[in-house]
Amino acid sequence: MDLTKVISKTLTASPERQQEADADWEVVKKVQAGDVAAFDKLILKYRERVYSVIYNLCANREDAADLAQTTFIKAFQSINRFQGQSSFFTWLYRIAVNATLTHLRKNKLRTFFSFERITEEDKTSELIEALTDKSGADREAFVKELQEKLNEALQKLSINHRMVVTLFEIDGLGHNEIAEIMGCSVGTVRSRLHYAKQLLQADLQSYLR
Amino acid sequence: MSDHRFNPPPRVTLEDLLRLKRTERPPAEFWIQFERELQQKQLAALVERKAWWHELAAFYSRYGRVRAPLGATAILALTLFSIRYYSHSEQDPRLLLATGPGGQPAARMAVRMHDQARPVVVAAAVRERASVEQAPASNGKSTASRVAAIYQAPAGEVPGFIPWVGDVMQNQAGASGLTTSVRSIAVNLITASVTDADLAEALARPHGFEERAVPSAHPQHTAEMLPTAAAAAEPRRARLLAALGSAGAFAPEPSAPEHARRSVNQYLAQDGWDRSMGRLEAEGDRLSIKF
């Protein structure tokens, strides 16, 4: 690994992330050595996060499942090319994001939304409580409407803006990691995030208090 | 009174709303199906034959550190090879196809292009045209073999059936061989001086379209009929020469453009073209004739 990469990784990554990256690198080395079954560990570990990123970008659960599977297959096929210069999850995210971008550009005119259901325990969360004083079926309808509006507002954003919002606000990645995944500067990530939030704020004004 | 009045609802920010998206999770059974499909796709991917460029990409990624020097070396090698190839091909003998009246290519000859331009006095050569016209009859050689002899003549030697070239050579101090211009002129003059029978045979030979369209044509009929025609010889000869010129029988000056060759052929087809010649200049391998 390049010394500069190691230094930059050490400086930017949090200790937890660094620990996670090291653990992943060990598994990757096993896969590269021929232990194919070790890759299943990585799939189990990252499938939900990869699926979530793709789902929030394309807002279609079937397409998201398909693209997540493609991501893992691509990662497996090119695992020998992974040299540990970045963390495994950044590399995997980059594959997922690129696959999603290609898919979205290819199907620009064909957009179908199909959403995951919000779980029951989340319907009674503090946030929902704060947003509505309704109960029962009314609350169900309100949550559904809110979900649709939220996804609608996100889909109005450009792909790059949507990606920044998804990775930062929903997946909780840092600016540096997003910059690495998207192949742009941290400043660009910040400005895109700011602009995207302004647009979302204007669109979801009626739900904000 | 309810507590609601005293406890205003908590503030809801955009970040809170976006966090709601995290709760959109697929059910557990989704992952079972996901796993099954992924395994199928993995198996299919393993069976699928990879394209050759995948191997190339893998090779380059494996040797990532030497990628830049490797690429630079490859580009340098390609550049050197190109330069060497093109400079070599300019010096190499150039193949020239001379067509004889027999219907087959007379000979494929290597013509060495002269690197240095040498002064050539061609005026004498043009004046000696009459002697060239009589040469084929005297030595009995075919046009094709004479054309071949011109191109294959070794340095310093001049074929005997073109005596006018000997004069030209004497005027070239230290000349070691025929220049390209002299060769071209000699070939054209020999072609122009062929007999009517040879001309008719050359014309009867299929050229391009006729060869494709009429594969069963019998050129010997035309060759037998034309020489026996009783019409005046000179106008017919001019027409035949013009037709032969347009059919590409004349050996063109290698560097002359197409339109120049065409106009030269037209002039050569006219009677007394040499009398209408106003100025003749020769410099190096170039000959310019002004009519």
* pLDDT tens digits, one per residue of B65-95: 677 788 888 899 999 888 888 776 555 444 4
Asked if the Cβ–Cβ distance from B14 to A69 is below 8 Å, we say no
Q: How far apart are the first and last CA of chain A?
A: 49
Assign B31 to helix, strand or coil: helix
How many beta-carbon pairs under 8 angstroms link A with B? 98
Contacts of A145 in chain B (CB under 8 A): none
B268: left (phi over 0), alpha (psi -120 to 50) or beta: alpha
A43 touches chain B (CB under 8 A): yes
Distance CA A154, CA A144 (A): 15
Write out pLDDT tens, residues A88-136. Answer: 989 999 999 999 989 988 876 666 666 666 665 665 566 666 666 666 6
Chain A residues within 8 A of B4 when measuring between CB atoms:
133
Is the pLDDT reported for residue B30 higher than 60? Answer: yes
Paired residues of B109 in beta bridges? B96
Kindly state whether A55 is in contact with chain B, defined as any CB-CB distance less than 8 angstroms: yes
**ipTM of the predicted structure?**
0.77
**B283, containing H or E segment:** strand B279-283
pLDDT tens column, B194-214: 666 666 666 666 554 444 444
C-beta atoms of B25 and A116 within 8 A? yes
Q: State the Cα–Cα distance between residues A117 and A168, nearest whole angstrom.
A: 22
Burial label for A168, CB within 10 Å (0-12, 13-18, 19+), is buried
Mutate to test the interface with B, among A31, A53, A71, A76 (most CBs of B within 10 A): A76
Quick one: tokens of B207? 């050229």
**C-alpha–C-alpha distance, residues A40 and A42, integer Å:** 5
The Cα of A44 is separated from the nearest Cα of chain B by a number of Å equal to: 9
